Amino acid sequence: DSCRFIAPDLIGAPGGGTWTGAGAFHLADEAVGILEMIDQHDGPVHLVGHSYGGGLALHIAATRPDRLASLSVYEPSAFHLLHELDSEGHEALGEISAIAGAIHDGLINGSYLSAAARFIDYWSGAGTFDAMKPELQAALVRFLPKASLDFHALIHESMPASEYARFGFPVLVLRGEFAPVPTRLIA
């Protein structure tokens, strides 16, 4: 058997889809192009996603469960699931919401560099952003508006955990040993 590997560009990336901006951004907006690819493919697909892509993959899997052969997600940022957990989940939601808020506030008040540093240092450790080359820092600053939309979509996704429990295909969920608390609770 042979497989065809497709790594679709997401909204905001060169070659990615477009978003109208006519309302709040949702995972369903991001999923449109990928769902079209899945629907055009003969037979079931193996869907893989990491971080935001993992949260998106969960949404896609719940939307087209009959089209999947398997789902593999690494540290899926399905932050909406934290709403369904106990007080530890609510604390973790507060933690990730603070990061999302820092990005949003940085975009509003022009503190792009500090917002990008907060984002990168949260995921990769203190000082990581400052250690990056200026060109990479600039690329990450350009990504901030999309990151803000992504956080909103992940935190406000309406798909309940019970939908994911119904999957009739193999699911692999992975996380790193040092993942932040919100990610550890989700994975």
Q: Can you give the CATH number for the domain in which 174 is found?
A: 3.40.50
Do 130 and 177 have their domain in common?
Answer: no
Do 146 and 172 have their domain in common?
Answer: no
Condensed to tens digits (0 to 9), the pLDDT of residues 2-21 reads 777 888 989 988 888 788 88
Query: Mean pLDDT in the chain?
Result: 94
In percent, the amount of the chain with pLDDT more than 70 equals 99
Do 39 and 73 have their domain in common?
Answer: yes
Say which residue the tokens 């933690």 belong to. Answer: 95
**Containing domain of residue 129, as a range?**
95-154
Do 70 and 121 have their domain in common?
Answer: no
What's the CA gap between 123 and 52, in Å, rounded? 12
Which DSSP string do the residues of 55-77 spell out, in sequence order? HHHHHHHHH-GGGEEEEEEES--
pLDDT at 1 over 80: no
